[in-house]
Structure 1
Amino acid sequence: MKTVYERADIVPLLAEIFRELGYQGTSLSRITERTGIGKGSLYHFFPGGKEEMAGAVLADVDAWFEQAIYRPLRHGDAREAIAVMWTEVNDYFRSGRRICLVGAFALDETRGRFSVAIADYFIRWVNALHSALMRAGCPEEDAQALAEEGVAGIQGALVLSRALDDTAVFTRSLEAVAKRLDAVMQ
């Protein structure tokens, strides 16, 4: 295992632990067991404990989505940004094999603790997709509903794909939602 020198090195490790065990199932003992990082080092990097670790993970996820998804949707060529969104989302969620940590936190008692970050993640995604759809010629009266449908379609596809242990479900769902959105762009 790589020696960890920076807080940023720990965050991706924590993300996978939170994805696998959820917030409630993740303890410092489980983190040290899975990472090999001692509790003292963890508290050095995250004096606020598990809550600060989860906050750092959510911030890291948010930063990735801002750079790879939201910013291009808001400012790039609309059609190209939407096409890239499907590819990036498929890669990020490993074709449905990786859960959406923000979505998972939204579904359990963790939601109250991180409600602002969770809501912001989804609102910004819907708003960015709405912006791209409008610039791509989607009628204004349809853009908001389609943006919500697009994000909900991705999230639902993740849940169904994981529940059925079938990544083809995720791929088919992404393709179907992409076709639906593409059909309304002029």
Structure 2
Amino acid sequence: MLKKGGERKEVLRALGEVFRAHGYEGASLTLITEATGLGKGSLYHLFPGGKEQMAGEVLAEIDGWFEVNIYAPLREADDPARAIAAMIAGVDQYFHSGDRICLVGLVALGAARDTFAESVDSYFARWQHALAQLLRRSGLSKSQAQRRAEDALLTIQGALVLARARNDAGIFRRALTELTKRLLAPSD
């Protein structure tokens, strides 16, 4: 639980976990105040736009983490194998080896999808584009690179869902291992 003077990043982290656990729709003000330790007045002072602003800022925080730790390294890498290994390690770290769901994916599936459509689309599109660019630099054709980048996102997201549904984080780790092999395989 956070103290009333908790830093904004801590508040956003707590909000993110509430949204992960209950979805945007199920994240009640009671759950939010319990998780952050802030009263309603303090929350509305920090987030005058209410729950929508809270979720928007949490999504922006996630986007910032992925920009720094996933997208930019993929765009700037000279060594595709090291860049893919770093991406896989970052994804494994961020999603706690499959124990943490993708909040952006959860929002994409929920009723709030349209409210956050731009943020959700940007998250996936930028990731796919950065990975496809790296794969192009590794010698794949444009279409092969696009297909493999799309497959990577499908694998990661699907593995997160299946690992959670089956309560088996090993599913996620195995999927990441196999994905690494597929991404680095010679062109078709």
How many aligned positions are there? 186
Alpha-carbon offset, residue 90 of structure 1: 0.5
Corresponding position of 2:130: 128
Q: Is the 8 A contact 1:161 1:169 kept in 2?
A: yes
Corresponding position of 2:175: 173
Residues 85-124 of structure 1 correspond to what in structure 2 (within 5 A)?
A: 85-124=87-126
Alpha-carbon displacement from aligned partner over 1:10-47 (angstroms, at most 9, x marks no partner): 10110001000000000111111222211111001100
Corresponding position of 1:60: 61
Q: Is the 8 A contact 2:162 2:171 kept in 1?
A: yes
List structure 1 runs of 4+ shifted beyond 4 angstroms: none
CA distance, structure 2, for counterparts of residue 56 and residue 184 of structure 1: 40
Q: Is the 8 A contact 2:95 2:101 kept in 1?
A: yes
CA distance, structure 2, for counterparts of residue 95 and residue 130 of structure 1: 24
TM-score by length of 1: 0.95
Q: Is the 8 A contact 1:154 1:173 kept in 2?
A: yes
Percent of matched pairs sharing the same residue = 51
Q: Is the 8 A contact 2:15 2:35 kept in 1?
A: no
User: What amino acid maps onto 2:177 in structure 1?
Assistant: E
SS of equivalent to 1:184: coil
Corresponding position of 1:154: 156
CA distance, structure 2, for counterparts of residue 12 and residue 140 of structure 1: 37
Q: Is the 8 A contact 1:79 1:132 kept in 2?
A: no
Alpha-carbon displacement from aligned partner over 1:91-114 (angstroms, at most 9, x marks no partner): 100010000000000011110110
Residues 30-49 of structure 1 correspond to what in structure 2 (within 5 A)?
A: 30-49=31-50
Alpha-carbon displacement from aligned partner over 1:134-176 (angstroms, at most 9, x marks no partner): 1122233310000000111100000000000000000111111
Residues 137-148 of structure 1 correspond to what in structure 2 (within 5 A)?
A: 137-148=139-150
SS of equivalent to 2:100: coil
CA distance, structure 2, for counterparts of residue 104 and residue 57 of structure 1: 13
Unaligned segments of structure 1, at least 5 residues: none
User: What amino acid maps onto 1:63 in structure 2?
Assistant: G
User: What amino acid maps onto 2:110 in structure 1?
Assistant: D
CA distance, structure 2, for counterparts of residue 9 and residue 166 of structure 1: 29
TM-score by length of 2: 0.94
Unaligned segments of structure 2, at least 5 residues: none
CA distance, structure 1, for counterparts of residue 6 and residue 118 of structure 2: 30
